[in-house]
C-alpha cells in the first residue's frame, strides 16, 4: 500500500485548530505513515507555527493537491487574502476561511486527490455567520456526498459510541426515536464495526431512552414499544445486538467494556460518558460515508487559543484512526473482491493457532 494522502481542514483560524495540527504532524513517525495535506494558507500556517515555536516543523506549499510531495507536510493555498487573525475571538474570518478550507478539501476528496479527511474544530456561530447552512461537519459531508443515512460515531481504542440522533434539542428527541431510525443506525453501526474497524462479529449494546429503561413502563414506554422490538429483529438478521440498557448503570458498572460498539439514543447520553472516560484520546468518526472522515473530540477552545497550551493527543488519534479505517476499507474491498483469498487467509489463521 502506498502512503495514505490525509487531507486536513484547518477549522477556525482563531481557535486551537492549527496549533494541534502542527503539534500532531510534528510527532515522530507521522510522515512515515501518511502524506498530510493541510487546506488553508501558508501565511496562516506560518503564523500559528511561530506561536507554537516548533522551528523543526517544515511544510511545502502548493496551489492544488494534484501533485503532492511525500515525506513532508503539504499546505494547499486555498486563498491569497491577507487574513486578520484575532486569537480567541469570534470574527468574520472565523467562519469564512474555515468554510473555504472545508469546501476545497471536499472537492479534492471527490476528485480522488486525498484518501481521507480530518476536520479541525469549527465555531458553529461563526459558520452560521458565513452562510454555512448545516449544524456541523457531519451533516455537511452527508449532503456533499448525497448520503441520507449516516452515523456520528465517537471512538477510541476501547470504546465506540454511535448516536441515533445528533444535534437535536432535547425536547425533539423522543419524536425522533422511531423503529426506522434505530434500525438504520444499528445496521450502520454494525457494518462500520466490520468494515471500518475489522471486527468480524461485533457485539453491540443498545441504550434505553428513559431512566431505568422505563422501569417496566412506569417511566415511559419507548423501550417496550420501540427499542426492544428493533433489537429482537436485529438479532434475527444476524446482528449481535443486546438491550435496551439503562445508560447510568451501563456505564457506571463498566458494562461498556464487554461490547464492541454502543448505540445511544441522543447526543449527551452517549457523549458525556464517552468524553468522561476518554477525553483527549477520543475521535469523532462519521460512519456511512463513502469517504473516511475523523476529527478530534474537542472544540475551538478560544479560552486558550494562542497560549501554546492545547493538547494535540486527540488530533493525533484522529490521524491514526483515519489511517486505520482507510486501510481496513482497502482490505475489506480486496477480500470481498476475491473470496478465494479470504478463504486462504482464514486457513492461515487456523494453521497459526496449532
| Residues 82-140: tens digit of each pLDDT | 899 999 999 989 999 999 999 999 999 999 999 999 999 999 999 999 999 998 898 99
| Predicted pLDDT of residue 163 | 97
| Predicted pLDDT of residue 344 | 54
Question: DSSP string of 42-69?
Answer: HHHHHHHHHHHT-TT--EEEES-TTS--
Cα 278 from chain centroid? Answer: 14
**Is the pLDDT confidence value at 266 over 70?**
yes
User: What percent of the chain clears pLDDT 70, i.e. is strictly above it?
Assistant: 95
Cell of 79: 486563498
How large is the average pLDDT for residues 37-55?
94
Question: Exposed (0-12), middle (13-18) or buried (19+): which is 327, by Cβ within 10 Å?
Answer: middle
Per residue in 135-176, pLDDT tens?
A: 889 899 999 999 999 999 999 988 999 999 988 899 999 999
The CA-based angle 147-291-151, given to 5 degrees, is 50
How large is the average pLDDT for residues 59-66?
93
| Predicted pLDDT of residue 343 | 52
- Please state which CATH class domain 1-147+289-354 belongs to: alpha beta
Q: pTM for the full model? A: 0.88
Cell of 275: 468524553
Per residue in 287-318, pLDDT tens?
A: 999 999 999 999 999 999 999 999 999 999 99
Q: Specify the domain boundaries for CATH 3.40.718.10 within the chain.
A: 1-147+289-354, 150-285
**Is the pLDDT confidence value at 52 over 60?**
yes
| Predicted pLDDT of residue 342 | 53
The total of other beta-carbon atoms located within 10 Å of residue 257's CB is: 10
How large is the average pLDDT for residues 195-204?
96
CB 58 within 8 A of CB 46: no
Query: Kind of pairing, strands 292-296 and 116-119?
Result: parallel
**Is the pLDDT confidence value at 352 over 70?**
no
How large is the average pLDDT for residues 216-239?
95
- Residue 155 has φ and ψ, to the nearest 5°, of -135, 150
In three-state secondary structure terms, 207 is strand
Fold of 150-285: Isopropylmalate Dehydrogenase (3.40.718)
Pick from 113, 51, 110, 42: nearest CA to 78? 42
How large is the average pLDDT for residues 35-45?
96
Pick from 78, 123, 80, 83: nearest CA to 103? 78
| Predicted pLDDT of residue 208 | 97
User: What percent of the chain clears pLDDT 90, i.e. is strictly above it?
Assistant: 83
The total of other beta-carbon atoms located within 10 Å of residue 267's CB is: 18
Amino acid at each position: 500500500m502506498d502512503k495514505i494522502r490525509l487531507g486536513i481542514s484547518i477549522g477556525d483560524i482563531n481557535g486551537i485548530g492549527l496549533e494541534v495540527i502542527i503539534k500532531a504532524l510534528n510527532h515522530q513517525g507521522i510522515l512515515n505513515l501518511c502524506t498530510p495535506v493541510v487546506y488553508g494558507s501558508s501565511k496562516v500556517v506560518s503564523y500559528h507555527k511561530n506561536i507554537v515555536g516548533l522551528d523543526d516543523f517544515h511544510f511545502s506549499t502548493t496551489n492544488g493537491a494534484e501533485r503532492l510531495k511525500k515525506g513532508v507536510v503539504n499546505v494547499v493555498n486555498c486563498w491569497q487574502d491577507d487574513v486578520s487573525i484575532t486569537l480567541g475571538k469570534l470574527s468574520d474570518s472565523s467562519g469564512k476561511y474555515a468554510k473555504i478550507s472545508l469546501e476545497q478539501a471536499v472537492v479534492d476528496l471527490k476528485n480522488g486527490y486525498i484518501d481521507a479527511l480530518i476536520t479541525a474544530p469549527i465555531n458553529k456561530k461563526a459558520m452560521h455567520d458565513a452562510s454555512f447552512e448545516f449544524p456541523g461537519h457531519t451533516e455537511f459531508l452527508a449532503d456533499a456526498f448525497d448520503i441520507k443515512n449516516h452515523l456520528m460515531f465517537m471512538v477510541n481504542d476501547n470504546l465506540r459510541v454511535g448516536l441515533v440522533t445528533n444535534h437535536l434539542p432535547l425536547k425533539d428527541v423522543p419524536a425522533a426515536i422511531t423503529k426506522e431510525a434505530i434500525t438504520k443506525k444499528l445496521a450502520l453501526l454494525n457494518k462500520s464495526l466490520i468494515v471500518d474497524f475489522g471486527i468480524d462479529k461485533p457485539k453491540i449494546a443498545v441504550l434505553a431512552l428513559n431512566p431505568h429503561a422505563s422501569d417496566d413502563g412506569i417511566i415511559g414506554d419507548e423501550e417496550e414499544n420501540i427499542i426492544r422490538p428493533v433489537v429482537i429483529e436485529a438479532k434475527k438478521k444476524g446482528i449481535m445486538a443486546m438491550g435496551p440498557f439503562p445508560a447510568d448503570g451501563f456505564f457506571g458498572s463498566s458494562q461498556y467494556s464487554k461490547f464492541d460498539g454502543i448505540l445511544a439514543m441522543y447526543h449527551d447520553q452517549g457523549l458525556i460518558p464517552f468524553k468522561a472516560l476518554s477525553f483527549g484520546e477520543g475521535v469523532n468518526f462519521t460512519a456511512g460515508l463513502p469517504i473516511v472522515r475523523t476529527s478530534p473530540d474537542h472544540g475551538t477552545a478560544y479560552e486558550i487559543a494562542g497560549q501554546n497550551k492545547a493538547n494535540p493527543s486527540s488530533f493525533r488519534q484522529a490521524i491514526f484512526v483515519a489511517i486505520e479505517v482507510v486501510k481496513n476499507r482497502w482490505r475489506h474491498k480486496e477480500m470481498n473482491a476475491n473470496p478465494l483469498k479470504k478463504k486462504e487467509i482464514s486457513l492461515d489463521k487456523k494453521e497459526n493457532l496449532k
